[in-house]
């Protein structure tokens, strides 16, 4: 199995189980070894009392992209901790894209950056995720 085939299969299996990301309205656009791209069309129900996309929704999109990227090698991996910086507001009608990229993978620990942009390529948020492999696989390769 090639790394891309492994990532695609891990992504498909995870997506099939990921009720939270689907519930929020996300779409898995692309996955490869150490990377993932998810999108979300911001709806009124994603917006807070200021009329902008709730920070938790933006964080959730970035966190989901991070999760798919760090599980792309078919090694069960979870978040150890994450940091997010909000750079600009998103609004209802915006299409957000979260692009996760692996920066480092050493042993069981990884570091991933996720950039969230809108349809005009404006940066909405920068997210850094720190992962930890917990043992086991996303799917059985035997």
pLDDT in tens, 8-37: 999 999 999 999 999 999 999 999 999 999
**In order of start, what are the domains of the chain with their CATH numbers?**
3-133 (3.10.129.10)
- pLDDT tens for residues 55-85? 999 999 999 999 999 999 999 999 999 999 9
> Regarding beta strands 95-106 and 77-86, do their DSSP bridges make them parallel or antiparallel, or are they unpaired?
unpaired
Q: What is the pLDDT of residue 39?
A: 98
Does residue 46 sit in helix, strand or coil?
A: helix
Decide if pLDDT at 142 tops 90: no
Decide if pLDDT at 111 tops 90: yes
Distances (CA, A) of 76 to 39, 49, 130: 23, 37, 14
Place of tokens 């940066």: 123
């Amino acid at each position: 199995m090639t790394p891309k085939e492994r990532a695609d299969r891990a992504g498909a299996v995870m997506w099939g189980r990921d009720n939270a990301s689907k519930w929020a309205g996300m779409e898995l656009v692309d996955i490869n070894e150490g990377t993932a791209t998810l999108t979300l069309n911001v709806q009124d129900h994603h917006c807070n009392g200021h009329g902008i996309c709730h920070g938790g929704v933006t964080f959730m999109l970035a966190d989901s992209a991070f999760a798919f990227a760090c599980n792309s090698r078919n090694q069960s991996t979870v978040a150890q901790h994450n940091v997010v910086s909000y750079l600009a507001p998103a609004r209802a009608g915006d299409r957000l894209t979260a692009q996760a990229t692996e920066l480092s993978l050493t042993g069981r620990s990884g570091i991933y950056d996720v950039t969230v942009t809108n349809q005009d390529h404006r940066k909405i948020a920068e997210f850094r995720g720190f992962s930890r492999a917990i043992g086991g696989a996303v799917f059985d390769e035997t």
